[in-house]
């Protein structure tokens, strides 16, 4: 038994005992117990290490199950030294991780979630419920209105609301009713809850207008709403006549929107290429700015009271500050056809746009180019877009009768994330932001597969802009100094400002 113990000690110490010393230990093993022996040979030996050696009993050889010098019976806290000199190649390792995270983001970028079909004509307008994330109302060219449950992706009910085009739909602040306007010059209020079994679908209130109605927007808090057409009119729920009428010129107004923050402010897009600002506390319009081409839709920033973005016919979107309309804050490019609709995210940091070029683009408010583009083979010209109130989804309606649901961030995982998974995603995002300006990572992050029509259209627009730039530089080089001034891009699109 003593010989077995000495042999195990020799095994632990990798056979570093000399043969003569082993003989001495064997001879003295009968007088010195194993604790004294280990204490003499190894001063830092402790009794806890004894448990790591199974000493043979009843003639069975002992077995080594671990290294006594490195394993302790109690788990201790590990202290790390963050001195950079002790961790070489930190930047190369992080760069590799950022590159892999960027590649995986593009691999998992599958934004399309599902579609809602059922309309028998093109979708003309969409309305989101102010309190329930899963409820949606849509109108079509044939006058039909449908309510949807996005969570189950099914149609709740459908009915004929107007004779002809459904021009606009909006919810009252409580969310219990929604309002529609159409080409039949009527404003109709509908309950969000459907009628009982066997009852016909009837509006709770119908208001007849004397003029054509092209759009409607509801006040954020008060029972007021605004309609536009030949003129801009402010209505109250309980009255059948407008309480206020605004008009600037003879041109029709095709879009009007209440400001969600400064709720007494309104903005409207007119057919004379102008954007008009109204104040419900004033008698007449406040200000007016004229652009080169007509603006189709306007949307206020929900977090900044004085900022709005308009979708223009010249393929661009313009973000303005109402305090200074001489030039836009930013010009958002990339579309190759007229932009039809725009809607802000609840955070106010991004917005989504739909265009006649059959694509959806997502922009950051402070950048001039889109961060993402969505498209499908079957999707045709976009007529309306929405950003959901939970900041996770984007909705689009197009003229091929479908409503589509997209993820706001193409590679985002849907569902509940585990804590470790969330930490890993946050770490990857931090690395991508840190190395975003590196050429290879920037190239992979910006690359998108687009249809041939979009690719050729972008190429043609780049060629036209480059030719125009070369022509101006040649004219400037062969003209009197100062006769051909440099005009910033933001000042090229505003023609006049009127008060």
Q: What is the pLDDT of residue 71?
A: 44
Indicate if 400 and 441 belong to the same structural domain: no
Instruction: Please compute the mean of the pLDDT values over residues 271-275 and round it to a whole number.
Output: 94
What is the percentage of the chain residues whose pLDDT exceeds 70?
85
Q: Please compute the mean of the pLDDT values over residues 89-116 and round it to a whole number.
A: 95
Does residue 8 carry a pLDDT above 60? no
Residues 44 and 154 in one domain: no
pTM here is 0.80
Number of domains, the chain: 3
Q: pLDDT category, 31, cuts 50, 70, 90?
A: very low
Same domain, 343 and 389: yes
* pLDDT (0 to 100) of residue 499: 80
Asked if 43 and 180 sit in the same domain, the reply is no
Residues 133 and 253 in one domain: yes
Measured distance CA(42)–CA(9) in Å, rounded = 11
- 420 falls within a domain: no
Predicted confidence (pLDDT) at residue 57 exceeds the cutoff of 90: no
Mean pLDDT within 23-41 = 49
Check residue 33 and give its pLDDT. 54
pLDDT confidence band for 39 (50 / 70 / 90) = low
pLDDT grade, residue 62 (50/70/90)?
very low
Residue 46 sits in the same domain as residue 12:
yes
481 located within any domain: no
Mean pLDDT of the chain: 86
The 10s digit of each residue's pLDDT in 104-151 is: 999 999 999 999 999 999 999 999 999 999 999 999 999 999 999 999
Query: If pLDDT is split at 50, 70 and 90, which confidence band does 78 have?
Result: confident
462, pLDDT greater than 90: yes
pLDDT at 318: 97
The answer to whether 223 and 231 have CB atoms below 8 angstroms apart is no
Per the model's pLDDT, the better-predicted residue between 152 and 196 turns out to be 152
Look at residue 289 and tell me whether its pLDDT is greater than 50. Answer: yes
Residue 21, domain member (yes or no): yes
Model confidence at 23: pLDDT above 70 = no
- pLDDT bin (cut points 50, 70, 90) of residue 1 is very low
Predicted local confidence at residue 82, as pLDDT = 84
> Rounded to 5 degrees, what are φ and ψ at 200?
-85, 155
Kindly state the average pLDDT of the residues 463-487.
Answer: 94
pLDDT reported for residue 14: 47
**Statement: residue 458 has pLDDT above 50:** yes
CA trace torsion 183, 160, 344, 327 (10° rounding): -10
Rounded CA separation 252/279 (Å): 19
CA 105 to chain centre: 15
Lowest mean pLDDT among 212-226, 240-254, 383-397: 240-254
pLDDT average, residue stretch 43-72: 44
Residues 142, 229, single domain; the answer is: yes
Q: Is 135 exposed, middle or buried (0-12, 13-18, 19+ CB in 10 A)?
A: buried
Mean pLDDT of the region 34-55: 48
Output Rg (C-alpha) for the chain, integer angstroms: 36
CATH of the domain at 135: 2.130.10.10
Choice between 41 and 146, residue whose per-residue pLDDT is larger: 146
Report the pLDDT averaged over residues 459-480.
Answer: 95
Nearest to 5 by CA among 61, 74, 45: 61
Whether 72 shows a pLDDT value over 50: the answer reads no
- pLDDT of 168 > 80? The answer is yes
Query: Residue range 285-290: average pLDDT?
Result: 92
Q: pLDDT band for 4, please (50, 70, 90 cuts).
A: very low
Pick from 49-63, 176-190, 233-247, 320-334: least confident: 49-63
Tell whether 76 is covered by a domain. Answer: no
The answer on 185 and 131 residing in a single domain is yes
My answer on whether 235 and 173 are in the same domain is: yes
Q: 471 lies in a domain?
A: no
Confidence of residue 9 (pLDDT cuts 50, 70, 90): very low
> Is the predicted pLDDT of residue 346 greater than 60, yes or no?
yes
pLDDT for the residue numbered 34 = 52
Q: Is the pLDDT of residue 285 over 90?
A: no
pLDDT tens, 429-445?
999 999 999 999 999 99
Asked if 380 and 398 touch (Cβ cutoff 8 Å), the reply is: yes
Tell me whether residue 79 is in a domain. no
Q: Give the model's pLDDT for residue 498.
A: 86
Is residue 466 domain-resident? no
pLDDT score of 44 more than 80: no
DSSP at 96: H
Q: What is the pLDDT of residue 36?
A: 56
Cα separation, 192 vs 202, in Å, equals: 12
Residue 284 sits in the same domain as residue 147: yes
Domain membership of residue 438 as a residue range: 88-110+433-445
Same-domain check for residues 36 and 179: no
Average pLDDT over residues 381-389: 96
User: 42 pairs with which residues across the strands?
Assistant: none
205 in a structural domain:
yes
Burial of 129 (0-12, 13-18, 19+ CB in 10 A): middle
Do residues 32 and 140 both lie within one domain?
Answer: no
């Amino acid at each position: 038994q003593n010989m077995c113990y000495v042999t195990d000690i020799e095994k632990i110490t990798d056979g570093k005992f000399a043969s003569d010393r082993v003989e001495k230990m064997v001879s003295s093993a009968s007088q010195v117990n194993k604790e004294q022996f280990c204490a003499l040979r190894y001063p830092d030996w402790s009794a806890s290490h004894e448990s790591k050696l199974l000493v043979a009993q009843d003639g069975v050889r002992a077995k080594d199950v671990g290294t006594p010098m490195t394993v302790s019976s109690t788990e201790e806290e590990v202290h790390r030294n963050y001195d950079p000199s002790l961790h070489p190649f930190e930047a190369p390792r992080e760069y590799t991780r950022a590159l892999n995270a960027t590649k995986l983001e593009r691999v998992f970028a599958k934004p399309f979630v599902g579609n809602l079909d059922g309309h028998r004509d093109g979708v003309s307008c969409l309305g989101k419920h102010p309190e329930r994330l899963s409820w949606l109302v849509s109108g079509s060219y044939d006058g039909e209105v449908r309510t949807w449950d996005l969570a189950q992706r099914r149609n709740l009910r459908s009915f004929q609301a107007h004779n002809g085009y459904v021009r606009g739909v909006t919810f009252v602040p409580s969310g219990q009713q929604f309002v529609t306007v159409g080409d039949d010059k009527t404003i109709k209020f509908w309950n969000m809850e459907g009628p009982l079994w066997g009852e016909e679908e009837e509006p709770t209130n119908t208001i007849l207008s004397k003029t054509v109605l092209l759009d409607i927007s509801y006040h954020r808090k008060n029972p007021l709403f605004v309609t536009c057409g030949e003129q801009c009119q402010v209505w109250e729920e309980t009255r059948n006549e407008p309480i206020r009428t605004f008009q600037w010129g003879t041109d029709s107004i095709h879009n009007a929107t209440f400001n969600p923050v400064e709720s007494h402010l309104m903005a409207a897009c007119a057919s004379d290429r102008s954007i008009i600002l109204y104040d419900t506390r004033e008698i007449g319009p406040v200000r007016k700015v004229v652009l080169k081409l007509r603006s189709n839709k306007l949307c206020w920033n929900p977090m900044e009271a004085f900022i709005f973005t308009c979708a223009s016919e010249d393929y661009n979107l313009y973000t303005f500050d109402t305090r200074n309309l001489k030039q836009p804050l930013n010009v958002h490019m990339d579309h190759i056809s007229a932009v039809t609709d725009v809607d802000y995210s609840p955070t106010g940091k991004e917005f989504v746009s739909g265009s006649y070029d059959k694509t959806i683009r997502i922009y950051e408010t402070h950048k001039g180019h889109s961060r993402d583009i969505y498209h499908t083979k079957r999707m045709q010209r976009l007529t309306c877009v929405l950003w959901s109130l939970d900041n996770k989804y984007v909705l689009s309606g197009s003229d091929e009768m479908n409503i589509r649901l997209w993820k706001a961030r193409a590679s985002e995982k849907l569902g509940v994330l585990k804590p470790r998974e969330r930490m890993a995603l946050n770490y990857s995002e931090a690395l991508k932001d840190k190395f975003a300006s590196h050429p290879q990572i920037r190239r992979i992050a910006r690359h998108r597969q687009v249809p041939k029509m979009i690719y050729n259209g972008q190429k043609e627009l780049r060629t036209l802009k480059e030719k125009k730039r070369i022509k101006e530089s040649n004219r400037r080089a062969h003209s009197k100094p100062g006769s051909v001034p440099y005009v910033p891009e933001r000042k090229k699109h505003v023609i006049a400002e009127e008060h």
